[in-house]
Every structure is written in structure tokens, then in C-alpha cells.
Structure 1
Amino acid sequence: MTTPVPTVTLHNGVEIPQLGFGVFQVPDAETAAAVSAALEAGYRSIDTAAIYGNESGVGKALAGSGIPRGDLFVTTKLWNADQGYDATLKAFDAGLERLGLDYVDLYLIHWPTPARDLYRESWKAIEKLAADGRIRAAGVSNFQPAHLERLLDGADLVPVVNQIELHPGLQQSELRALHADLGIATEAWSPLAQGAVLGDEAITAIAARHGKSPAQVVLRWHLQLGTIAIPKSVTPARMRENLDVFDFTLSDEEMAAIAALDRGLRTGPHPDTLH
């Protein structure tokens, strides 16, 4: 029996599972099988993006799952080359068709790409999609404080989520504090730093103490921070392991030991420089 995944209520009232399943770098041909295994393991939140090239595979798995649409939470993202008002609307339609859905639960601007300075136009288009009921929640990804502040100047909607690289090696304290002030939920991509933090002595010691894996300890840390996390795996046993994090609690001392691991470790590009 799988323990139900707790949800986070976004500021517009929509609930998102706190632990989801990401499909970054999963080839489209393998995506349907991976997502089907994740759904079987108990995941109900699936995170994809136009640039991943696997929205069709996600849609295939969702269609074949037999799970009611209302029990699923599907996120996809607008790619940088499709920013701008009209281009955003067109890109959204194409993504929806690939997914085979009538709506998505969360639509994100994937990167701010500040040099192009089109994210405010894209946001206006996303506000229209939200008003038309084609997306249940509107958010952003990889936005820095300056990008958020510029986006909100003249915006009708505040993003419900900012999906950012976040793990013990890159804890983004300033950005998370701004999210808290604005009512924006923090969602972590690369929540395990692609494995780069799993050998840290503080984490392995905590894992041994609880009889858990280092990955389970890091995911538990995310949950206790209040973060939404989307670990990715194509191995069914690992998928199940990543969900098995609701039967133990990290102490204040253990949370503090992990907090001390912050070292500005990025596994992906810096949002100020990606075009």
C-alpha cells in the first residue's frame, strides 16, 4: 500500500502533490514506460517540458493509465525560442496536442532568458490561458529575484510556483525567502543534485541513523522545508524508494547539518546567462 503523497496548496487554491515525477532527459520512446511505472508506483504529478521532446510519451502513458484526469497533475513548460505573446499561445496549443489533453494543471515559463526580454509578453499570454481555463495554475521556472520583480510589475497574476535548481549544495535561501514573501511555492528540479550530494558525510550519517538511503534523506529534507520536489528516475525500484519518505522525520539538528552543506553547487546553467 503506497502512502498518499501530501499536497501543497498553491496561492490560487489549486493543490499540487509535494513529490512528483520528472522526465528530463528521458527519450520520448522510453517515456511512456517510465511514466507508466511511476504512476503504478503511486506518483500522480508528472513534470515535462516542450524542450524535453517527450510530451507525446507522457500523454501516451496518461491515456493508458486508467487514472481519472482529475487525479493527475500535469506540468509542462514554454521553451525559450517560443517566448512572446502570440508565440506562447501557439506553443501552448502544440504542447497540449502532444500531451493529448484538454488542459494542463501547471504551465511554466521555462527560463527568463533576460537578454531576449520577452518573458513579460509571455506572461500576459499565460494569464490569458489561465483566464480561459486552459491551465489551472500559472508559474515560472529559474527566475531570479530581479526577474520576478520585473515580471510582477504590471502583471495581473502572481506566479503560483517558481521551479528552480534546489538541493543541499544549492539552497537558494534569498530566493526562497522572496517566494515566502510573495506567496510563491518553491519547486525543486534536480532535487538530488544528480547524485552530487549523496556522498556528503552529513547525509550518509543521517541515512545510516534512520535506515534510509541518502536520496531518501535529501527528499525528506525537501519535504520538511516545504519544497515541492520532482526527482527523476527510469528505474522502478528507485521510483518506489523515492516515494518511501513519509515514515521518518529529520530532527532540527539533522536539518541544520544539511543546511551547512550549501556551497553554490549548480548542476545546470545560471538563469542570468542562459539564452
Structure 2
Amino acid sequence: MKLVLSSVALCALFHVITGHAGHNHGPVGKQVKVPTKQLNDGNNIPILGLGTFGFGDIPKIRQAINWAVEAGYRHIDTAALYANEEEIGKGISDVLKKGLVRREDLFITTKLWNDKHAKDQVVPALRDSLAKLGLQYVDLYLIHSPEASKADGSPTNIDYLETWQGMEEAKKLGLAKSIGVSNFNTKQIDRIKAHSKTVPAVNQIEVHPSNTQEQTINDCFERNIAVVAYSPFGFFVTRGGPSKDDPKIKNIAQKYGKSVTQVVLRYSIDRGLIPIPKSTNQKRIKENLDVFDFQLTPEEISTISSYNTDTSIFS
């Protein structure tokens, strides 16, 4: 069964009055409502989230969480590897104390790093992340990568099927509402399906116009697995990629009165993906959320996909 967003969900945009003023982008006092999609375990995930990988200035993350929740974000993505769980936890504590949201309104993802792949390491690793985040549970816990390593980073031979058993235990204990994987290919996912009782709810992979990942995405959708897209801007915000002034993408942006980056985020959403753009800039945080009042045509999606070169920004 394929994961398909309804036309209502794709086009949804409505605002609620929050009473918060002073934002420097978008309607003052307005908050975007992010649509959700149902995962294969029945839980709901907001279809756009705040990524937090690679922030150089860790203290800014706490403020970014506050700005993001004020703007309407409910989905926040982190990982043990990012070494920012404590600051994110402080930001979450801030917005809860302010009464902006309840814990159950938030969707928090973190990830198990490669040096904790043994079955008996998984739950303790998650408990450590929860302590840093100041939470009783996360909404989604992911195996960050199928490769296992020792504490010094050297490779070790631990089958991710063993790791998955630890993930299932974390879910059984209520420490994670949903469990999934990241950077897994179809063959690896099918091994998990064949040797366990739990199908991953999510596969988080790099997806952007220069790395469109059609086959892996289609395979996940056929297995009723949601795809979270990290680095959704790809080369549009790094060196070596297409220019934001490229007429193919610029014309689409002008048609909808949007920025190129907003169009690229909408491209992910209209493909049924869940992008997690990162930013600690208040204006960009709000701009990245302002993508629910337009929808790309199939032809425009194809045009943006024409930038594909199967190239990772990490290679």
C-alpha cells in the first residue's frame, strides 16, 4: 500500500491566533498548522520538521526551537551524533513552560549512533538521549545507519537485525512511540521485514533535486514506509549545484510568489516526502514553514527532478 497524502492535506493552510508578536517574517501573531500523515503503526507525523544537523553554534539551537514552535513547527529531528540533544531539550522545556504546546503536540525524533548497535546497548542509549532531551519518550527512534562501529569509530561486526531487536524492545517499553531506520536501502529493509515482527515506520534518507532517489522512495512507499528527506535543499544552498537564478526553478518560484527554497520544499512534500530543513535564523525558519498554500503541478515536479545527477552533498 502506498503512502498518499490527500489533496486536502496537501493544500491545507490555516492559521490560529497565538498572541505572539514581533516576528520578522510573515503575518504577525499567526501560526501555520502543519498537516500530518499516518505511519504504518497508526501514529501521525507532521509532514515538515525542523532539522538540527550540523549547527556550528550550539547555543542558538535553544532559541531556534522556541522560534520554530512559535511559528507552528511540531516536528523536531535530532540524533545522538549531533551532540545537541541537551540544548534541544532546553528549547522543548521552554515552549512547554510557556504553554505554547503540550508534550503530546510535539513529534520528537532522535537516532541511535553506530557505536551502540548491540541489542543490549539500544535501550540504554535511548535512555541517555531521553535524559538529555528531558523527555519520557520520543515519538520516533531511528537506527542512524546500518553500519556498526566501536567507540573509537572503527568498524565492528554487529548485524543490524540484532540492533532492530533492541529497537523493538524500546518500543515495547514505551520509550519510543515509533521506530524506524535511516540511510537503509531496500535490501536491508526487506531483511528486517523478513526477520522481525515490526516493519520500520520510517526510512530517513538524503533527498533533494540533485539526488531524487526515485527507486528507494518507491520501494519504501510500496512497503508502507514513510520517507523523511534530510538535506532537502541539496546543492541549491551549497557550492557546485544549480543556481537559484536558474530560469527553470526561478520561473516556478515567481509563478507562486515564493522563494526557490520554498519551491524545493514543496517539491519534497508533493512527492509525498517529509522534509526536515534546518535553520537557526528566525526569518528562514518561518519561510520554510510557509509552503502549504500552493501545490506544484506534475510537470513542475518533473522539471525540478531534471536537476538530478544522483549526487550526494556528502560525497
TM-score (norm. length: structure 1)? 0.93
- Code of the aligned partner of 2:38: T
Q: Which amino acid aligns with 1:268?
A: F
Any conservation in 2 of the 1:8–1:228 contact (CA below 8 Å)?
no
Q: Which residue of 2 aligns with 1:16?
A: 45
1:28–1:55 CA contact under 8 A, matched in 2? no
Match in the other structure for 1:273: none
Corresponding residue for residue 205 of structure 1: 251
d(CA) in 1 for partners of 2:77 and 2:95? Answer: 16
1:86/1:125 contact within 8 Å kept? yes
AA matched with 2:60: E
- Determine which of 171, 175, 188 is the counterpart of 2:212: 171
Q: Does 1:7 align with 2:40?
A: no
The match for 2:193 among 149, 152, 173 is 152
Q: Which amino acid aligns with 2:145?
A: W
* Partner of residue 217, structure 1: 263
| d(CA) in 1 for partners of 2:242, 2:174 | 40
Deviation at 1:153, TM superposition (A): 2.5
Mapped to 2, the partners of 1:128 and 1:201 lie a distance apart of: 51
Hey, what does 2:23 align to over in structure 1?
Answer: none
Aligned partner of residue 195 in structure 2, secondary structure: coil
SS in 2 for 1:86: helix
Contact 1:165 1:268 in 2 (8 A): no
Corresponding position: 1:131 with 2:172 = yes
Contact 1:28 1:56 in 2 (8 A): no
Q: Does 1:193 align with 2:234?
A: yes
Contact 2:35-2:47 within 8 A present in 1 as well: yes
Work out the number of aligned pairs and report it: 269
Structure possessing the higher radius of gyration over alpha carbons: 2
- Helix, strand or coil at the partner of 2:169: helix
Report the alpha carbon displacement of residue 148 of structure 1 after superposing the two structures with TM. Answer: 1.2
Query: How far has the Cα of 1:252 moved from its partner?
Result: 2.1
Q: Is the 8 A contact 1:192 1:198 kept in 2?
A: no
Whole-angstrom distance in 2 between the partners of 1:117 and 1:134: 23
- CA distance in structure 2 between the aligned counterparts of 1:197 and 1:9, rounded to whole angstroms: 34
Q: Which residue of 1 aligns with 2:295?
A: 249
Aligned partners of 2:215 and 2:288: how far apart in 1?
A: 27
- Do the aligned residues in 1 keep the contact of 2:126 with 2:175 (CA within 8 Å)? no
Give yes or no for contact 2:32–2:71 (8 Å, CA) kept in 1: no
Cα deviation digits, residues 215-274 of structure 1 (max 9, x gap)? 0001111111110110001110001100111111212221121122211120125xxxxx
Over 3 Å counting, the alpha-carbon distance change for 1:246 and 1:197 in structure 2 is: farther
Match of 2:81 in 1: 51
Given residue 120 of structure 2, which amino acid in structure 1 is its aligned partner?
D
Note the alpha carbon deviations across 1:15-61, whole angstroms, 9 max, x for none: 01001001111243222111111111211110000010000011111
* CA contact 2:122–2:170 (8 Å) conserved in 1: no
Matched, 1:230 2:260: no
* Structure 1 spans left out of the alignment, 5+ residues: 270-275
CA distance in 2, matches of 1:231, 1:201: 23
| Aligned pair partner of 1:120 in 161, 166, 190 | 161
Deviation at 1:198, TM superposition (A): 5.6
> Which 10-residue stretch deviates more, 29-38 or 113-122?
113-122
1:82 aligned onto 2:112 = no
Name the CA distance, whole Å, in 2 between partners of 1:198 and 1:160.
Answer: 35
Shift of 1:127: 0.4
2:228 alignment partner, SS class: strand
Cα 1:113–1:198 shift into 2, 3 Å: farther
Partner of 1:272: none
- The letter of the residue matching 1:3 is V
Taking only the aligned residue pairs, the percentage that are identical comes to 41
Q: Which of 63, 66, 72 is residue 42 of structure 1 equivalent to?
A: 72
Letter of the structure 1 residue corresponding to residue 73 of structure 2:
Y
Please give the alpha-carbon distance, in whole angstroms, between the structure 1 residues aligned to 2:49 and 2:195: 32
> Which of 304, 308, 315 pairs up with 1:258?
304
After TM superposition, the score normalised by the length of structure 2 is 0.82
